[in-house]
Amino acid sequence: MRIEMNDLEHKIVELIQQGEGLTLEFKECRNTLNRDVYETVCAFLNRHGGTLLLGIKDNGDILGVDQDRVDQIKKDFVTTINNSQKINPACYLSVNEATLQNKTVLSVYIPESSQVHRCNGRIYDRNEDGDFDIWVGIICGTLLMANRLGVSHQSMTISRIFSLLQEVINECTIPYLSFERPKRAC
């Protein structure tokens, strides 16, 4: 007996075949939400948007979300995503449920935002390899620049670090910072 798939299920199958990338992320989340789910949401909001699939392994295998945990995971996700202490500014997203291979998969579409969002006070961005903390990259870039200028990072004052940080941002010496849309630049 063949069961017909709905449009969402067809779309999810297509996305899984595509594999993870700039606008698609898989998370296992079998019985609880991974801690980095919210970093991914933040990165999608700050970049080009994307789709988050819960219940899928990184290699595209369908693991599924435990059926008795689906409602709680959906509730936890929506509650947390609307909490401005977790994601700021808060955003409003919904979780869709699909069945593939008799397993429950949760899908969340995250649109690109016109605002810069933070997760736990940190700004995340997305590249092909996943999510990254922009501030860590900026600080590393600042320390690299200081090293090139012959300044020992151990002898730098806070004001010198901020001065170098401003130079790094002004010179765009960090390759993954995008200034395509100035209103969203750091």
- pLDDT digit string (tens) for 92-145? 999 999 999 999 999 999 999 998 899 998 889 998 878 888 876 666 666 666
User: Do residue 74 and residue 149 come from a single domain?
Assistant: no
For 114-129, how does the pLDDT look when each residue is reduced to its tens digit (9 = 90+)?
Answer: 988 999 988 899 988 7
User: Do the domain assignments include residue 90?
Assistant: yes
Rounded average pLDDT over 42-50? 94
Q: Are residues 59 and 143 in the same domain?
A: no
**Residue reference for tokens 């590393």:** 140
In this structure, the strands spanning 50-54 and 103-110 are: antiparallel
Residue 26 has pLDDT above 70, yes or no: yes
pTM: 0.74
Task: Answer whether residue 58 is part of any domain.
Answer: yes
Residues 137, 102, single domain; the answer is no
Which of the listed residues 82, 110, 138 is the one where a domain comes to its end?
A: 110
Domain count, the chain: 2
For residue 99, being part of any structural domain is answered with: yes
Tell whether 118 is covered by a domain.
no
Quick one: 170 and 86 in the same domain? Answer: no
Whether residue 159 sits in one domain with residue 103: no
Return the CATH number at 54: 3.30.950.30
- Cα dist. 115→46, 79, 86, 87 in Å? 7, 20, 15, 12
User: Residue range 12-27: average pLDDT?
Assistant: 95
Which residue, of 83, 110, 137, is where some domain finishes? 110
Q: Is residue 84 part of a domain?
A: yes
Where do we find the tokens 């996700």? 77
Q: Are 97 and 104 a contacting pair, CB within 8 Å?
A: yes
Same-domain status, 27 and 64: yes
Q: What's the confidence (pLDDT) of residue 50?
A: 96
Is residue 64 situated within a structural domain? yes
179 — pLDDT class (breaks 50, 70, 90): very low
Residue 173's pLDDT is 42
Residues 98 and 165 in one domain: no
User: What confidence score (pLDDT) does residue 4 get?
Assistant: 67
103 and 144 fall within a common domain: no
Residue 55 maps to a domain: yes
Residues near 47 by beta carbon (within 8 Å), at least 6 away in sequence: 22, 112, 125, 126
DSSP-assigned letters across all residues of the chain = -PPPP-HHHHHHHHHHHH-SBTTEEEE--SSS--TTHHHHHHHHHHTT-EEEEETB-TTS-B--B-GGGHHHHHHHHHHHHT-TTTEES------EEEEETTEEEEEEEE---SS--EETTEEEEEETTEEEEHHHHHHHHHHHHHHHTT--GGG--HHHHHHHHHHHHHHT-STT---SSGGG--
- Whether the predicted pLDDT of 186 surpasses 50: no
pLDDT at residue 164 above 70? Answer: no
- Which position has the higher pLDDT, 134 or 11? 11
Q: By mean pLDDT, which of 57-66, 124-133, 153-162, 177-186 is the weakest?
A: 177-186
Domain interval for residue 85: 7-110
Q: Does some domain include residue 67?
A: yes
Q: Tell how far CA 117 is from the center of its chain.
A: 11
